[in-house]
Amino acid sequence: MQRRQFCQKRGTNASVRNVPDQPVEMPGLPDDAVDALFSGLNSFSNLSLAVSGGADSLCLLVLFGEWSRRVSWKGRAEVIVVNHGLRQESDAEARFVVDVAKRSGYAASVLRWEGEKPQSNVQEAARTARYCLIARRMKATGAEALLLGHHLDDQAETFLDRLTRGSGISGLSAMAADERDGPEGLRLLRPFLSVRKLRLEASLRERGQDWCTDPSNLDMKYKRSRLRNILGLLNEEGLSVERVAETAAHIRRSRDALEFAVRDIVSRKVEFHPAGPARLNREVFAAFPVDLRLRLLNEIMTHVTGVRARPRLAKLQSLDAALNCGESLRQSLCGTMFEAGAETIWCWREPGRVPPMTLSEFDRQGIWDHRFAYSVLADRQSIDEPDGLRLGPLCHAPAGAADFVWPEGWPKAAFDCSPVVWSPDGLIFTQSASLPVQPGKNNHSCTLDLARLPIRGKLSDNSRDIGDVCGEI
């Protein structure tokens, strides 16, 4: 990239340039550096590599192939190429990656983004589609994690992007080298996150390996391209890519400390009923600093719905203010309902316009409503349930309030989306993850077992940008 030259005047006409005319040439990565970057992969036996054909991901493929042979890695790896079909060169680039993968000794799968493409926010939509396609493929192959070619420059660009959106600590901590709960629940590994892009390109040049260049990376109509240009200008003022990434790392440590504190609060102060809802003491909640309260609310919503909560910060702050005013309230947010009494705050999954579905056909194992795992007991003779059992929310079950033993200290509405198993004749079966059934209502054994899924380990999500400013905690 052509750099502007700034001059510092001395006296009347003397000047000294403080940046070089051309970027300093960087060497490629030596084998010992690659071994150190990939050393953590020894614990995996089945990996996927996301490769687009650009310098970053292609270098990942080439160096991974060399490393795996050098250390005699015994695992299985597959290269995944997503063809978005957005440019005329897409098919040729996919074939190019397949050829390079074959030379490196790996099979490659080309996944196509089918259907109508959006007219706006194309890059974000393409990114979302890419992870959906990759997740589906990895589920089929049993891959444990996805290797990505993100590098130090990407980290700095992500930081600036989040900065323009008014992000808080969660956003400004940028990307993690090991993201255990990324898009679509994937585990994402980024071994190059500490490496400059120029070193990856130099590594390919040293091997005589070409790569594909996406012209959209230079198109200033895209925000990423503009941020890339801004980083070059900031570097001339002393704010280098390394400095930006270092700042993101400092913020990530602060974020980790906050998340540790929230996990501790959840384990000690929040009670989760086996059937789904949660509650905590209102006075205890009010005593926490505001940032901890916001994160605590976010974590509670994530747990009671089974999906990662993504509330707008303004709405989350509004809920926090309402809960701290001391008055009784009932307020919904992100598929949950919060109710506050004089001493207690309750939260539960609300039916809303799309209540949990009712299942009448079952695999041997599965997940219901993102919250409960079901399994067919081993003594069953076939998958088809002879009694035609149903698994659905209490609000759809053929039962009345008198059929259940209601726990003290919980609103009855808090269990509207709790799981219930019933037969076509209306017989309700007692399950450990459901409300207890009144004596005499359960006369048969049930061949379906239910278990509450554990609390998700990751408290917040940095894998997807939020479109409005001040949108992240």
The reply, when asked if residue 52 is annotated as ligand binding, is: yes
Cα dihedral value 272, 309, 192, 73, nearest 10? 50
Show the tokens assigned to 337: 């309902």
The reply, when asked if residue 467 is annotated as ligand binding, is: no
User: How many Å separate Cα 161 from the centre of its chain?
Assistant: 18
The Cα–Cα gap between 440 and 434 comes to: 16
Show the tokens assigned to 313: 């910060």
With beta carbons less than 8 A apart as the criterion, state whether 333 and 319 touch. Answer: yes
The reply, when asked if residue 68 is annotated as ligand binding, is: no
Residue 241's nearest CA partner among 14, 42, 1, 62 is: 1
With beta carbons less than 8 A apart as the criterion, state whether 83 and 110 touch. Answer: yes
The reply, when asked if residue 53 is annotated as ligand binding, is: yes
The Cα–Cα gap between 33 and 159 comes to: 25
The Cα–Cα gap between 5 and 464 comes to: 36
With beta carbons less than 8 A apart as the criterion, state whether 112 and 155 touch. Answer: no
Q: Which residues of 438-470 are buried (b: 16+ CB within 10 A; e: fewer)?
A: eeebbeeebbbbbebeeebebbbbbbebbeeee
Dihedrals phi, psi of 451, to nearest 5 degrees: -145, 135
- Which residues line the annotated binding site? 52-57
- Which residues line the annotated binding site for ATP? 52-57
